[in-house]
Amino acid sequence: MPISTLWSMSSSRMLLYFTSRATTLSMETSSSFQQLGMQQTLEPPRQQLSCYKCSTTGSDPGKDPGKAAGSSGGSGIGKGSVPMVCSTPCGNPYAGLVSHLRASWLSGKTRPMEYRVAQLEALGRFLDDKKQEILEATELDMGKPSFEAFFSEILLCKNELNVTLNNLSQWMKDEHVDKNLVMQLDSAFIRKDPYGVVLIIAPWNYPIQLFLVPLIGAIAAGNCVVIKPSEISKSTERLIAETLSCYLDNDCYAVVTGGVPETTRLLENKFDYIFFTGSPPVGRIIMTAAAKHLTPVTLELGGKNPCYVSDTCDVTNVARRVAWGRFFNAGQTCIAPDYLLCTVEMQEKLMPALREAITEFFGPNPRESPDFGRIVSDKQFQRLRALLGSGRVALGGQTDEAERYIAPTVLADVLPSDPAMQEEIFGPILPIVVIANMDEAIDFINARPRPLALYAFSCDSKIVNQVLERTSSGGFCGNDTLMHMTLPSLPFGGIGNSGLGKYHGKFTFDTFTHHRGCLHRSMGLETLNSPRYPPYTQQKMGLFTSTFEVRRRGTCTLL
């Protein structure tokens, strides 16, 4: 996704943005968010740990701040609450918060499964209790239709949550592995260790799902978490900042709000893992900052996802599935099909089918449809409007700046050199690039950075398989769009410019888990070990070889 946060804004614009935001905020002094937002930028963030008064009666363990940090047994480190090291003098406003979470982590309280389950269940309650608020906030932010919001922000999160709760005990178990001959009496296993304090930076396009799904895995893996929602989706940011603390243990999970300056300061702190969703330029900044502390990262970025439509296919169904994927969330989806590749004949056939699909979905005037979203910000709107000059507008093309409305638009005969083909579109605009045949389509795809998703449509499964085999992409979906991300059993993530690392389901748990190789040997049978000790002899060598060597199947005589 391009410019998912404010990073790429020029600094003067940024300042303007913040001043204007501050003014709007100061007008709503009654809101508790106000206090939170201001505290974070001005004062050391220790105070934000206090739970906001709210109607829910969560029975989360260890909710009172400070007290719980050293309460459970454990390493003996971090007894009691840790003093704020380096709060103001050396400048970092988040140092106190991070060290507080680190003390909680070292106390060992996030390690027991019961604790993790309780926190995850609290997240489930958050989704249930705040369903209406979530639908309203996303509607306010980008006019998200309630079906889409329900499907993508709530349903998919509930899915992940249930998969995690159903399997957590299994995932957490030590994984016993095969041993060689000398180690037959020992126990060898992979321990699933939490990393420590992790940072999740979420974007604005699916403001709930894209912070909640990683959060579920981070909690499940036993980490403490700092969550940084996007400041662009303001209403959702406010909702998260205000209400999440009522459900989760505030000694272990904190929400930090703010824009570029705040995130920059936050990144100066040492985290044990950083999970970022956003644009490639910001991804580079995040990874460079992470390198200073040798922090591993998952980067979920975007890219232009190609969609190849072969000459042999059911045009009506193709049009429906493509239009659904492209215009879902008004095109602001990182795995949306970004452009179509097809022959001139196919373009001719697709056009009426796409028109029909759009009318069927959104009625004759999509602007009045409750099922079609809006663009998130004026900046994004202006960027998108400039892309409409590419090729020729075959369908749609209407815009309304006041509402940030852009009609579902199809651009025909777009050239690879046109503006619409230079950046990720991230809006309800579908360019069609004409190619001569499948080979040319594959060359076209391979000549560009590797996309997050790739789509191919054909009645002939051989063609779909060819496109799959001869290209590289984060994920692949044949004969449909977006659907591969709804399966928690499939890893979701990019490759090359579209990101690194993967998540969803068990992959999220694994992402936030250090797989620690453990070998527990027996103290006896020292004679078995003697071959490895000096002084070395040829005889010892032979013995060592026979006990250690992995042989090809069929040549093994000993076992």
Partner 1 sequence: MQNMQQIVGQARAAFSSGRSRPLEFRIRQLKALERMVQEKEKEILAALKADLNKCGPNANIQEVLGVLGELALTMEKLPSWAAPQPVKKNLLTMRDEAYIGYEPLGVVLVIGAWNYPFVLVMQPLIGAIAAGNAVVVKPSEVSENTARLLAELLPQYLDKELYPVVAGGVPETTELLTQRFDHILYTGSTAVGKIVMAAAAKHLTPVTLELGGKSPCYIDQDCDLAVACRRITWGKYMNCGQTCIAPDYILCHPSIQGKVVENIKATLKEFYGEDVKSSPDYERIVNQRHFKRVKSLLEGQKIAHGGETDEASCFIAPTILTDVSPESKVMEEEIFGPVLPIVTVKSVEEAIEFINLREKPLALYVFSNNKQLIKRVVSETSSGGVTGNDVIMHYFLSTLPFGGVGHSGMGAYHGRFSFETFSHRRACLLRDLRWELLNKIRYPPASMEMMHLARLLLVKQCSRSRVAQFVSALLVALKSVVAKVSFGSLLSL
Residues identified as active-site:
300
Is 497 among the residues that bind partner 1 (CB under 8 A)?
A: yes
CB 194 within 8 A of CB 111: yes
Is 296 among the residues that bind partner 1 (CB under 8 A)?
A: yes
Is 364 among the residues that bind partner 1 (CB under 8 A)?
A: no
Q: According to CB under 8 A, which one of 13, 173, 179, 392 is a site residue for partner 1?
A: 179
Is 359 among the residues that bind partner 1 (CB under 8 A)?
A: no
Q: According to CB under 8 A, which one of 84, 117, 165, 490 is a site residue for partner 1?
A: 490
Q: According to CB under 8 A, which one of 66, 261, 363, 416 is a site residue for partner 1?
A: 363
DSSP for 478-521, please give it: ESSSSGGGG-TTS-B---GGGEE--BSTHHHHHHTEEEEEEEE-
Nearer to partner 1, 238 or 349 (CB): 349
Is 528 among the residues that bind partner 1 (CB under 8 A)?
A: no
Match 């930028």 to its residue by tokens: 41
Is 181 among the residues that bind partner 1 (CB under 8 A)?
A: no
Is 520 among the residues that bind partner 1 (CB under 8 A)?
A: yes
Choices 19-27, 51-59, 150-158, 393-401; region in contact with partner 1 by CB under 8 A: 150-158
Q: Is 42 helix (H, G, I), strand (E, B) or coil?
A: helix
CB 259 within 8 A of CB 14: yes
Q: According to CB under 8 A, which one of 21, 111, 131, 265 is a site residue for partner 1?
A: 111
Q: Which residues inside 202-261 make contact with partner 1, applying CB under 8 A?
A: none
Nearer to partner 1, 266 or 387 (CB): 266
Q: According to CB under 8 A, which one of 26, 50, 56, 75 is a site residue for partner 1?
A: 75
Burial-class residue 312 by CB neighbours within 10 Å (0-12, 13-18, 19+). exposed
Is 522 among the residues that bind partner 1 (CB under 8 A)?
A: yes
The residues that bridge with 176 in the sheet, in sequence order, are 189
Is 502 among the residues that bind partner 1 (CB under 8 A)?
A: yes
Nearer to partner 1, 372 or 405 (CB): 372
Is 299 among the residues that bind partner 1 (CB under 8 A)?
A: yes
Buried b / exposed e over 168-184, threshold 16 CB at 10 Å, is: beebbeeeeeeeeebbe
Nearer to partner 1, 10 or 538 (CB): 538
Nearer to partner 1, 78 or 96 (CB): 78
Is 457 among the residues that bind partner 1 (CB under 8 A)?
A: yes
Is 468 among the residues that bind partner 1 (CB under 8 A)?
A: yes
DSSP for 182-232, please give it: GGTTSEEEEEEEE-SEEEEE--SSSTTHHHHHHHHHHHHTT-EEEEE--SS
Q: According to CB under 8 A, which one of 51, 190, 351, 528 is a site residue for partner 1?
A: 190
Using CA atoms, how far apart are residues 286 and 203, in angstroms rounded to an integer? 14
Nearest alpha-carbon partner for 473 in 456, 461, 486: 456
Q: Which residues inside 366-395 make contact with partner 1, applying CB under 8 A?
A: 369-372
Backbone dihedral region for residue 274 (phi beyond 0: left; psi -120 to 50: alpha; all else: beta): beta
Using CA atoms, how far apart are residues 190 and 177, in angstroms rounded to an integer? 7
CB 145 within 8 A of CB 330: no
Q: According to CB under 8 A, which one of 114, 489, 558, 559 is a site residue for partner 1?
A: 489
Long-range contacts of 413-419 (CB under 8 A, 24+ apart): 413/347, 414/339, 414/390, 415/390, 415/391, 416/444, 418/390, 418/391, 419/386, 419/387, 419/389, 419/390
CB of 114 to partner 1, least distance (A): 15
Q: According to CB under 8 A, which one of 25, 38, 393, 518 is a site residue for partner 1?
A: 518
Q: According to CB under 8 A, which one of 473, 509, 511, 512 is a site residue for partner 1?
A: 473
Nearer to partner 1, 118 or 313 (CB): 313
